[in-house]
């Protein structure tokens, strides 16, 4: 069974559907033969020689890829000339925008082929490794901040120098999905003051955890902003009016606005009006990540950078393609995991009983299967009346057994024997020793093993007390007591040194680099 990788023919597209590394895994781990069109990875810095070293066949003519491959991997939806080369039983995998491309799905079905849309992968835990939409959105969010920084006339971070003070940039991110969170992290890393807004209140904690301020609408409504699919939804007119008033107020304060709002299957909502752009200070920047679907900003020109009233408007439609090397690697990994999910070469089957494959398979053997049944993946917290009562915690009952009784009898007999010696000093020291053993046993030994590391400071403190006591005993004239004191000092020192070592290793886990 052969997998084909044609060169992307969409103008300006630099990504490739498989890198030499992912193509090698397709062959070695999944058993596929891989054929790559010559020059397919050149724009992403993957020359043909690397594919040949990975065991791929390099075809000089693209028709060889389409005519011999059983599975064709692409990035962009196929152009008309590519659809014509599809044949009966062939499987096409790539971004297909099925909600907007009904005609394309019908054309693929007319060829008797099957098609899998990567943007239709459901957002459930099992499918995260296949989620190419999130992979590309992550890159787009990062690149959007880089593009904004290239046009912005100041530092992102604030600086105080001998020549003067430079205030930090203020960034507003609208939409706290994957792209929005990536943009927040990048802007914060560059030192900017970041604010974020989303109609889904459940993402507030994620925004705050990244050091940004989450903007809340002062709006008396219980309207939920998320769908069962994990995306934002269209809100009521009252909500949108309050939202627009908030954006206008923020436009007068911030330096950079990044918009990421998209609703699957619909044109991008208009969130930044011409009035808001004109309210921004000259030199400010608006980055519209939704420009490919019409844009969130009224004055966005898709694919171009424009200037409106002194404000730069970035309307690129290829943010992920501008980091083609990394984008191709991540997208290639998504496709590898998808083909692994399908069964590899040996068990290749589009199982429509599998919720993941059913969701992203939009055409199967000449039959359009879009749209799929809904899959509920909402991150919103359940309502109070839907929360199941908590199960009672299991209680472990401690029983007093025969062994415990024997130890108690032995301890009483030992104490009576010591008392019969009538040596006041020895009896006092031994009593302290026994009490220390009992306290140490109860404090340390009965603690759950999982809690030993958090209690390391307590054990170190107790060990410190033991060392002090041991040092006192070492100085006495009684040889047995001095020997026991020295042993106590040695053992406690080992415990303290081990505690510091474990604590140091724990702290190292939380350090960067």
> Could you list the active site residues?
123, 128, 131, 134, 231
Examine residue 367 and say whether the peptide bond preceding it is cis (omega within 30 degrees of 0). Answer: no
Cα 185 to Cα 189: distance, rounded to the nearest angstrom: 6
Cα 466 to Cα 473: distance, rounded to the nearest angstrom: 11
Cα 479 to Cα 426: distance, rounded to the nearest angstrom: 13
CA distances from 243 to 171, 260, 272 (A): 17, 15, 10
Name the strand (E) or helix (H) holding 364: strand 361-364
Cα 331 to Cα 42: distance, rounded to the nearest angstrom: 16
3-state secondary structure of 289: coil
Q: Which tokens belong to 325? A: 């090397």
Cβ of 410: how many Cβ atoms within 10 Å? 10
Helices (H), 441-510: 456-474, 479-509
3-state secondary structure of 143: helix
Q: Quick one: which of 69, 93, 100, 56 has its CA closest to 332?
A: 93
Please name the residues in contact with 35: beta carbons below 8 A apart, sequence gap of 6 or more.
2, 3, 4, 5, 56, 57, 58, 59, 64, 65, 68, 69
Cα 182 to Cα 142: distance, rounded to the nearest angstrom: 6
């Amino acid at each position: 069974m052969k997998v084909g990788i044609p060169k992307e023919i969409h103008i300006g597209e630099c990504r490739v559907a498989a890198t030499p590394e992912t193509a090698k895994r397709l062959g070695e781990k999944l058993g596929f033969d891989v054929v790559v069109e010559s020059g397919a990875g050149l724009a992403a810095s993957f020359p043909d020689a690397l594919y040949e070293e990975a065991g791929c066949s390099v075809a000089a003519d693209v028709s060889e890829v389409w005519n011999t491959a059983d599975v064709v991997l692409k990035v962009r939806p196929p152009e008309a000339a590519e659809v014509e080369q599809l044949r009966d039983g062939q499987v096409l995998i790539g971004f297909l925008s099925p909600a907007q491309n009904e005609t394309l799905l019908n054309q693929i079905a007319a060829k008797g082929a099957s098609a899998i849309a990567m943007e239709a992968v459901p957002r459930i835990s099992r499918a995260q490794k296949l989620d190419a939409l999130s992979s590309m959105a992550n890159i787009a969010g990062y690149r959007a901040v880089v593009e904004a920084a290239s046009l912005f006339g100041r530092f992102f971070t604030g600086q105080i120098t001998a020549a003067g003070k430079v205030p930090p940039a203020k960034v507003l991110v609208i939409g706290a999905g994957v792209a929005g969170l990536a943009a927040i992290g990048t802007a914060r890393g560059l030192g900017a003051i970041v604010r974020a807004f989303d109609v889904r209140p459940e993402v507030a904690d994620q925004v705050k955890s990244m050091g940004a301020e989450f903007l809340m609408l002062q709006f008396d409504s219980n309207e939920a902003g998320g769908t069962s699919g994990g995306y934002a939804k269209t809100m009521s007119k009252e909500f949108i009016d309050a939202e627009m008033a908030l954006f206008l107020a923020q436009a007068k304060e911030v330096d950079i606005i990044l918009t990421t709002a998209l609703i699957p299957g619909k044109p991008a909502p208009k969130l930044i009006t011409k009035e808001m752009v004109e309210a921004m200070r000259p030199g400010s920047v608006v980055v519209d990540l939704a420009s490919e679907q019409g844009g969130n900003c009224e004055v966005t020109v898709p694919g171009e950078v424009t200037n409106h009233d002194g404000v730069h408007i970035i309307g690129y439609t290829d943010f992920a393609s501008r980091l083609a090397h990394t984008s191709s690697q991540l997208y290639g990994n998504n496709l590898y995991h998808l083909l692994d999910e399908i069964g590899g070469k040996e068990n290749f089957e589009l199982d429509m009983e599998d919720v993941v494959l059913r969701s992203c398979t939009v055409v199967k053997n000449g039959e359009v299967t879009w749209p799929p049944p809904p899959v509920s993946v909402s991150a919103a917290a359940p309502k109070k009346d839907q929360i199941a009562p908590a199960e009672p915690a299991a209680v472990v009952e401690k029983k007093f057994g025969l062994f415990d009784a024997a130890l108690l009898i032995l301890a009483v007999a030992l104490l009576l024997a010591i008392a019969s010696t009538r040596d006041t000093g020895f009896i006092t020291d031994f009593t302290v020793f026994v009490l220390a053993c009992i306290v140490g046993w109860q404090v340390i030994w009965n603690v759950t093993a999982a809690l030993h590391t958090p209690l390391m400071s307590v054990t170190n403190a107790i060990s410190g007390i033991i060392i002090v006591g041991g040092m006192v005993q070492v100085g006495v004239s009684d040889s047995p007591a001095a020997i026991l004191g020295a042993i106590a000092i040695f053992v406690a020192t080992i415990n303290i040194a081990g505690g510091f070592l474990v604590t140091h290793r724990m702290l190292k886990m939380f350090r960067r680099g």
